[in-house]
Structure 1
Amino acid sequence: MKTMSWLGEGASKVAKAEWPTLLLWSFLLSPLMVRLLADCRCSKTDLLVFYTLAISLLWLVALRFVSANQFKVHVFLLPFYLAASIDLFLVLNFGSRLTAAYLFIGLTNYKEAGDFLVTYWHSIAIVLLVFALCYGLGLAGLYGRRLYKNKAVFCLAVAALFVGYGAYFYKTVKLNSFGKSAVLDLVAKDQSTPMGYLSQIGLTLSLYTESKIYIKQRLESEVKITAISKDAELETLVFVIGESSRPHNWSLFGYHNETTPNLDKASGVFKFNSMCTTAPYTSVAVPSLLSLEPIKNWDLIASTKSLVGIYRAAGYKTYWLSSQEVDSFGGIIPQMAAEAENRQYFERSYDGALISEYEKIIQQGGAQKQAIFIHIKGSHFEYARRYPSEFAKFKPATDSTKDRITADYDNSVLYTDWLLGVLIDQLKASQRKSLLVYASDHGENLLDDNRNLLGHGMGNEYDLSVAAFIWGSDNWSKPQWQKLQKLKGREGQRASISSLPHTLLNISGISMPGYDSTQDLLSNDFVSSRCPHQLASGYVPSFDFDVKRVAAD
């Protein structure tokens, strides 16, 4: 009993002495904790979350014991508290942390700040009030106090930070090799409090500096639409950008496992059995997928408005929803996202986390035309982390690595099929003339043969072949529906993802420079693609392959 009493008295004394610090800590940690508690649809136990929490606590301990004058320390930390306020606002309103994604958008779209403040001023005011109370009371409690300082604890905390960051960097180097990409990946994943804000700012500046010429050119470029056909009926376009999804493992394309049950039975689906990407990696493929320019004209892809900006200029209300994180591997993708009027990110969540926001957008459509661009994680490695446990339908036939990987990959495709089914059902319910376009950025190698290749970036029949289709609602006029029926004739023809933007301009009745009828799947001038692609740093115009359908034995 005496021991318990002594411990109680000790805890009481610590609380009495440290309450201002604990109050300030609670505010700094609030974005991380609110996100952790509120995100019920987050991925399976994410070690990165615990890593971030541990690093945050180590930073706070180090700052606590670096000086006895904590009042001065926290005055110096004012910019970090302001960053935490913005972070908390984003978590409460958008479910996302303050990452390079939002910093990049703010840096390149600062002119929209006025409209943003008008829309969210109530929420901003509440967060600022909470900040003022916590920060004001905390500083008042620290003023004039000399707290216990311990160099040993400070040194231990700093040493633990070196070990923590070092361990993650070692893991990154193993995956990406030693170099700039490994450093940027470490920085991108650092969302700790409070110093992680410096990491995100640094990453944003790195991305901005590397592409500032393109950014300037993109911002200054104009979409020159010459005409919009009065016969165009498209009211809602949903463009889903998949990730690492190859047709070999979709039952829609003949795979033996029923991985796409919703799409298999859906009417209005026009599939492309022989579609290939323009590059076996995301940062090149996605910009190409959303550009009218051919892959060999990369400078123009990077410096001119994408399909997002084109639809915005054509009078569509544009949205960008993404479950992908923006990091050093995103390249100019954040700039394309910034062309949309509304953007929202759902980091470290299953793809299904964006459904509620998608439903709101569809329901608010009214008479306004909509173009919704959705960038999902799909089947990105690690495959087992891309779907909830209830979608673990397929089990490995043996204990081999190949069978385990294939089962996990198949389950990720099953989850993507469920997501696409939900998106299509919402479009049906809206009774608007709608199209849903799905195309993966690239495919994936799954230890398919004696080469034992896993992942993408190789440039072969597995990571250049992509799953792709177009779905149309059943309420189009007869002439427009007959026009869409031409897509059936393209089912077996070889096509590139770069054909999709030209095809969509035709469907939308948009005429503008850059449109190429030979790339348009609805045009009689269409020419089958030989699937040129970017591999490493060179343009390879003559690469060709036979699309293979393989089954996991």
Structure 2
Amino acid sequence: MLLRFISSNQFKVHALLLPFYLLATIDLFLVLNFNSRLTAAYVFIALTNYKEASDFVATYWRPVALVLSLFALCYGLGLAGLYKRRFYKSRALALLSACTLLLGYGAYFYKTATLNGLGQGAVLDLAAKDQSTPFGYLSQIGLTTYLHAQSQEHISKRRTAQVNIISQTNEPNVDTLVFVIGESSRPHNWSLYGYHNPTTPNLDRQKGVFRLDNVCTTSPYTSVAVPSMLSLSPISNWDLIASSQSLVGIYRKAGYDTHWLSVQEVDSFGGIIPHIAAEAQHRHYFERSYDHAMLPAYEKILLDGGTRKQAIFIHIKGSHFDYARRYPDNFRKFQPATNSAKDQITADYDNTILYTDWILNSLITQLQASKRSALLVYASDHGENILDDHRGLLGHGIGNEYDLAVSSFIWASDNLPAPLNLRLAKLKDRADQPISISSLPHTLLGITGVLTNDYNSAHDLMSDTFIPSTCPYLLGSGYVPSFQFSIRPAAKASGQLVHQAD
């Protein structure tokens, strides 16, 4: 109403409102496809992580193009109808509308201030929850600006953050620790978890594998999940995760030779992952390659290890969209049963799992050949939707049973000291319990005997005081304290929906 009475030239008014109409169209797209509003989190990812943004556009370009085409048609017709038309203008009604808006925002701000106090928290809370159209978009953009400045502050704090190791075992335990960070890999399509296609033939028969059946991520976004799985802080405290040294820095401080091998693109706008990598003594990047490109460097690291303890962190491309581009032709084993998009996507996705299985088995085989006592931990950053049901969802960032569930296991060499083997046996008791990827760093520090002030035995899978996770996570709409799901039954159900490869 304010915009209606503020000017008699409504053609000019609505022409100037074009950016808001575009934002409203994007907002509607998110509501219809993800049941989520256009919040600062989405704006922040779009403006600061061009890789995630480009992957999103590549995945959803058809519905995006359709929505934008309909918008252009409707908007063009609307402007044509307003051209050279003049409307009644009333300063009194415009002032009344403005006062009504101010009263509404003022009342909500007062309510927020009574809960959070009169200060920055109340302003931020008002901005975060203001999802009105069109003024809410200004609030979200303003909040995005604040978040960007805050992220720069986090990065600055990371550079000066200190690691305080309170105790470290002198007993022989694990000579080489390998932490493999997967990508978009859900357990529903792993034969290791009961999927009907033999997508993990090597791991299915590999000795020393402790399968974790109900593992959840802390966020369906790589830029949040990876820092979280390498941090000792809970996902409810993102500021601390973003500004503190990670597991990489802890092992470096403990005297381990630390290595970061990545097949992911080096994205200076991709959040704090590059800064986590910088905590390692040695970094190796293999951009725009298949995952096996890093295997020779990995083998050389093992050969050159000598008597020093090693912590090797590997970030693979895994099952990241576009699935058909994630594996060499000789891994194109599974073929679609029909020409449907679902069957084609599922076949390509299954082939990415088959390739990942080979990669992981190669890493384990080289560890065995090194004769060093070793642990290999694998966990994906998040899962993936692949047109599983009537919702027709593809990709991640949604927050459901498909992109919050992740594949994860721990492999142990057969030459570990007997006390460690007894502790590892407890993993069998944890197999069916809900486990968050945030428990992995606590578990690794516990078994390697490198303890800091932030170590918590309640998150250590091999501790008698371990507490199963409620699976809290961060989504675009904010922090969610829990998520209830059971992965293994879902994996079997999913297997019935996907056509068997010929």
Shared fold, TM over 0.5: yes
Residue in structure 2 matched with residue 485 of structure 1 by the alignment: 425
Summarize deviations over 1:302-335 as a string: whole Å, max 9, x none. 0110000000011100000100013266211011
- Work out the CA distance in 2 between the residues paired with 1:304 and 1:399: 49
Q: Please report how far the alpha carbon of residue 545 of structure 1 lies from its aligned counterpart in structure 2 after TM superposition.
A: 2.0
* Amino acid of the structure 1 residue aligned with 2:187: P
Residue in structure 2 matched with residue 404 of structure 1 by the alignment: 344
* Amino acid of the structure 2 residue aligned with 1:403: D
Residue in structure 1 matched with residue 475 of structure 2 by the alignment: 535
Q: Please report how far the alpha carbon of residue 180 of structure 1 lies from its aligned counterpart in structure 2 after TM superposition.
A: 7.1
Retained in 1: the 8 A contact 2:367–2:374? yes
Residues 1:434 and 2:370 aligned together: no
- Work out the CA distance in 1 between the residues paired with 2:396 and 2:190: 18
Q: Please report how far the alpha carbon of residue 216 of structure 1 lies from its aligned counterpart in structure 2 after TM superposition.
A: 2.2
Retained in 2: the 8 A contact 1:318–1:371? yes
Residue in structure 1 matched with residue 324 of structure 2 by the alignment: 384
Moved more, 474-483 or 453-462: 474-483
SS in 2 for 1:211: helix
Summarize deviations over 1:327-364 as a string: whole Å, max 9, x none. 26621101100000011111110011001111110100
Residue in structure 1 matched with residue 181 of structure 2 by the alignment: 241
Retained in 2: the 8 A contact 1:320–1:337? yes
Change in Cα spacing, 1:308 to 1:385, as seen in structure 2 (3 Å) is: same
Residues 1:313 and 2:215 aligned together: no
Q: Please report how far the alpha carbon of residue 542 of structure 1 lies from its aligned counterpart in structure 2 after TM superposition.
A: 2.9
SS in 2 for 1:511: strand
Task: Tell me the number of residue pairs that the alignment of Structure 1 and Structure 2 aligns.
Answer: 366
Change in Cα spacing, 1:244 to 1:394, as seen in structure 2 (3 Å) is: same
Residue in structure 2 matched with residue 457 of structure 1 by the alignment: 397
Q: Please report how far the alpha carbon of residue 543 of structure 1 lies from its aligned counterpart in structure 2 after TM superposition.
A: 2.6
Retained in 2: the 8 A contact 1:460–1:545? no
- Work out the CA distance in 2 between the residues paired with 1:519 and 1:233: 20
Residues 1:283 and 2:226 aligned together: no
* Amino acid of the structure 2 residue aligned with 1:267: K
Residues 1:512 and 2:428 aligned together: no
* Amino acid of the structure 2 residue aligned with 1:491: A
- Work out the CA distance in 2 between the residues paired with 1:418 and 1:411: 11
Residue in structure 2 matched with residue 350 of structure 1 by the alignment: 290
Residues 1:341 and 2:281 aligned together: yes
Residue in structure 2 matched with residue 266 of structure 1 by the alignment: 206
Q: Please report how far the alpha carbon of residue 230 of structure 1 lies from its aligned counterpart in structure 2 after TM superposition.
A: 2.2
Q: Please report how far the alpha carbon of residue 482 of structure 1 lies from its aligned counterpart in structure 2 after TM superposition.
A: 1.2
Residue in structure 1 matched with residue 166 of structure 2 by the alignment: 226
Summarize deviations over 1:183-225 as a string: whole Å, max 9, x none. 66669999xxxxxxxxxxxxxxxx9976332122112111100
Change in Cα spacing, 1:473 to 1:223, as seen in structure 2 (3 Å) is: same
* Unpaired segments ≥5 residues, structure 1: 1-172, 191-206
Q: Please report how far the alpha carbon of residue 546 of structure 1 lies from its aligned counterpart in structure 2 after TM superposition.
A: 2.8
- Select which of 349, 355, 373 maps to 2:313: 373
* Unpaired segments ≥5 residues, structure 2: 1-28, 31-37, 55-146
Residue in structure 2 matched with residue 298 of structure 1 by the alignment: 238
* Amino acid of the structure 2 residue aligned with 1:353: A
Residue in structure 2 matched with residue 43 of structure 1 by the alignment: none
What fraction of aligned residue pairs are identical, expressed as a percent? Answer: 61
Retained in 1: the 8 A contact 2:44–2:148? no
- Select which of 354, 373, 388 maps to 1:448: 388
Q: What TM-score do the two structures reach when normalised by structure 1? A: 0.63
SS in 2 for 1:435: strand
* Amino acid of the structure 2 residue aligned with 1:405: I
Residue in structure 1 matched with residue 304 of structure 2 by the alignment: 364
Residue in structure 2 matched with residue 196 of structure 1 by the alignment: none
- Work out the CA distance in 1 between the residues paired with 2:220 and 2:433: 20
SS in 1 for 2:165: coil
Retained in 1: the 8 A contact 2:173–2:448? yes
Retained in 2: the 8 A contact 1:232–1:509? no
- Work out the CA distance in 1 between the residues paired with 2:379 and 2:44: 30
Residues 1:523 and 2:463 aligned together: yes
Residue in structure 2 matched with residue 501 of structure 1 by the alignment: 441
Retained in 2: the 8 A contact 1:289–1:497? yes
Retained in 1: the 8 A contact 2:49–2:270? no
Change in Cα spacing, 1:543 to 1:180, as seen in structure 2 (3 Å) is: closer
* Amino acid of the structure 1 residue aligned with 2:246: S
Summarize deviations over 1:281-307 as a string: whole Å, max 9, x none. 101000000000000010100011000
Change in Cα spacing, 1:301 to 1:240, as seen in structure 2 (3 Å) is: same
SS in 2 for 1:498: helix
- Work out the CA distance in 2 between the residues paired with 1:466 and 1:434: 23
Cα RMSD for the two superposed structures: 2.5
Retained in 2: the 8 A contact 1:312–1:340? yes
Which structure has more relative contact order (CA 8 Å, sep 6+)? It is 2
Q: Please report how far the alpha carbon of residue 512 of structure 1 lies from its aligned counterpart in structure 2 after TM superposition.
A: 1.3
